Amino acid sequence: MFVDHVQVHVKAGDGGNGIVAFRREKFVPNGGPAGGDGGRGADIVFEVDEGLRTLMDFRYQRHFKGQRGENGRTAKQHGKSRDANVVRVPPGTTVMDAETGDLIADLTLHGQTAIIARAGRGGRGNARFATATNPAPEIAENGEPGQEKTIDLELKLLADAGLVGFPSVGKSTFLSIVSSAKPKVADYHFTTIVPNLGVVETDDQRSFVLADLPGLIEGAHAGVGLGHQFLRHIERTRVIIHVVDMGGLEGRDPYEDYVTINEELKAYNLRLTERPQIVVANKMDLPNAEAHLELFREQVGEEVDIYPLSAVTKEGITAVLRAAADKIEETPEFPLAEEDLDERVLYTYTKQDAPFEIEKDDDGVFSISGNEIERIFHMTDFNRHDSIQRFAKRMRQLGIDEALRERGAEDGDTVRIFSYEFEFVE
């Protein structure tokens, strides 16, 4: 089964906890702090494996979780950090954040890797918090939570040229003739329901990869027919081979077909109009095909390259393949994501999210949220008084106390972080 779009959930490993421990040594307060740091958790890493062709494996495993880092040990021993959890993906896979729609990675080359979710660092042990005024601290951090996100995986085939056109115009027949691919060929619409790839060699020993995509119809960009499901595969191609039926057996007008398909490509992705196009006038062995071709040439103009072809008699195939190879050689690859940064820019400012947000719930409780305060909260060991005092100090440093007063918080009001509640004290 060919699978080219899945949604999965990834969770990188949390960092291991730091610990509070003391060594037993004469003349050292409390024996001296000796709590070690926790180890780093496991990243979720995607790696390209050229032996894979679909995203089928993700149908059966949709959750990937990294291992948690080992907790710190006594005698200032650090906990063990975990190796990355490596997930294999086929070449041509794009990884998108399902919530924001941002592109996380575009994986095309064998062995290429990308960190999809970063693991949390290990918490620090109490040996890290020793100072001249507090030589025996009872403070240790919990491990930092690893990133957790839902992602969309899309497979966009790595082909140099792609065949597009209405159903039953002869795309699959053409691919089966010029390559060793064996696509399904029949005299009804939508015989091709999955993309097919074939390696094509011209008579002058040049080769390229050709993709046969399911037939498009009007409205394909909006999900009509099979087009919306497979239009993504045309995004990577450098050259579009547009196959038009000149026989007119089904009563369709070749020029209307040509215009409709181009409008669908434009509506799906405006950048597809940048691809050079080779127009193949197929089924020239049928009656009236020559008359239709003459009229078609007048309608599209001289600037459009048109190559007559009969997939049945194999006439015109050499010219089409040579033209496609020429276009591929002179056309650069098209990146899927726009490069917005000027190469001369050495530093760019990235706006950071606010460290916290405060909202007053219907029950009168002040709820605090935000990436920074939530990270600090998770890394605080609330079983130890010193750690609680440190957390309160961090809240004041972030300006949460002052922000609560501005929102009308008074002595004795309840403050909530996640499901935990605290009392606001002036």
Low-confidence spans in the chain with pLDDT less than 70: 1-2, 28-30, 180-195, 214-233, 250, 270, 334-353
Token pair listed for 204: 């002058």
Fold of 161-330: Rossmann fold (3.40.50)
pLDDT number for residue 229: 53
pLDDT of residue 185: 43
Binding residues for GTP, by number, are 165-172, 190-194, 212-215, 282-285, 310-312
Long-range contacts of 190-198 (CB under 8 A, 24+ apart): 190/214, 190/215, 190/225, 190/226, 191/167, 193/226, 194/2, 194/230, 195/2, 195/4, 195/157, 195/230, 195/233, 196/172, 197/157, 197/159
Q: Parse the chain into domains and list their residue ranges.
A: 5-155, 161-330, 357-423
Q: How many CB atoms lie within 10 A of CB 414?
A: 15
Fold designation for 5-155: Spo0b-associated Gtp-binding Protein; Chain: A, (2.70.210)
C-beta neighbour count of 341 within 10 angstroms: 8
Residues belonging to the binding site are: 165-172, 190-194, 212-215, 282-285, 310-312
The 3 state secondary structure assigned to 110-132 is CCCEEEEECCCCCCCCHHHHCCC
Helix or strand or coil: residue 157?
coil
- The confidence score (pLDDT) of residue 174 equals 84
Q: Which CATH superfamily is domain 357-423 in?
A: GTP-binding protein OBG, C-terminal domain (3.30.300.350)
pLDDT at residue 110, rounded to an integer: 92
Which residue do the tokens 């390259």 mark? Answer: 305
What is the reported pLDDT for 180?
Answer: 65
Report in angstroms the alpha-carbon separations of 75 from 25, 32, 37, 130, 384. 12, 10, 11, 14, 20
Known binding residues for Mg(2+) are 172, 192
